[in-house]
Amino acid sequence: MQSHETVPYSLPPVSDDEAIARARALRDRLKERRSCRYFSDAPVPREVIEAAIEAAGSAPNGANHQPWHFAVVSSPATKRAIREAAEAEERAFYAGKASDEWLDALAPLGTDDDKPFLETAPWLIVVFAQRKGGIDEDGKTQNYYVNESVGIACGMLIATLHEAGCATLTHTPSPMGFLREICGRPEHEKPLMIVVVGRPAEGATVPAHALKKKPLSQIASWL
Shortest separation between residue 80's beta carbon and ligand IYR, angstroms: 17
Please tell me whether residue 180 binds ligand IYR under the rule CB under 6 A: no
Which backbone phi and psi does 37 adopt, to 5 degrees?
-115, 5
Work out whether the CA dihedral 9, 12, 18, 21 comes out positive or negative: negative
d(CA 61, CA 63): 6
Please tell me whether residue 58 binds ligand IYR under the rule CB under 6 A: no
Question: How far does CA 179 lie from the centroid of its chain?
Answer: 15
Instruction: Give the sheet arrangement for strand 68-73, strand by strand.
Output: 68-73, 123-130, 189-198, 167-171
Closer CB to ligand IYR, 32 or 101, in the complex: 101
**Other residues' Cβ atoms within 10 Å of the Cβ of residue 7:** 4
Please tell me whether residue 168 binds ligand IYR under the rule CB under 6 A: no
Please tell me whether residue 111 binds ligand IYR under the rule CB under 6 A: yes
Please tell me whether residue 103 binds ligand IYR under the rule CB under 6 A: no
Please tell me whether residue 106 binds ligand IYR under the rule CB under 6 A: yes
Shortest separation between residue 178's beta carbon and ligand IYR, angstroms: 13
- Of 171, 180, 190, 199, the one binding ligand IYR (CB under 6 A) is 171
Nearest residue to 177 (alpha-carbon basis) of 163, 164, 187, 167: 187
Stretch that binds ligand IYR, among 69-77, 116-124, 134-142, 168-176 (CB under 6 A): 168-176
Please report, to the nearest 10 degrees, the dihedral formed by the alpha carbons of residues 32, 38, 43, 44 taken in order.
Answer: 30
Please tell me whether residue 172 binds ligand IYR under the rule CB under 6 A: yes
Shortest separation between residue 199's beta carbon and ligand IYR, angstroms: 20
- Which residues ranging from 181 to 200 are in contact with ligand IYR (CB under 6 A)? none
d(CA 170, CA 196): 6
d(CA 65, CA 51): 20
- Of 39, 90, 180, 190, the one binding ligand IYR (CB under 6 A) is 90
Please tell me whether residue 174 binds ligand IYR under the rule CB under 6 A: yes
- Using CB under 6 A as the criterion, which residues of the chain lie in contact with ligand IYR when the complex forms? 90, 93, 106, 109, 111, 171-174
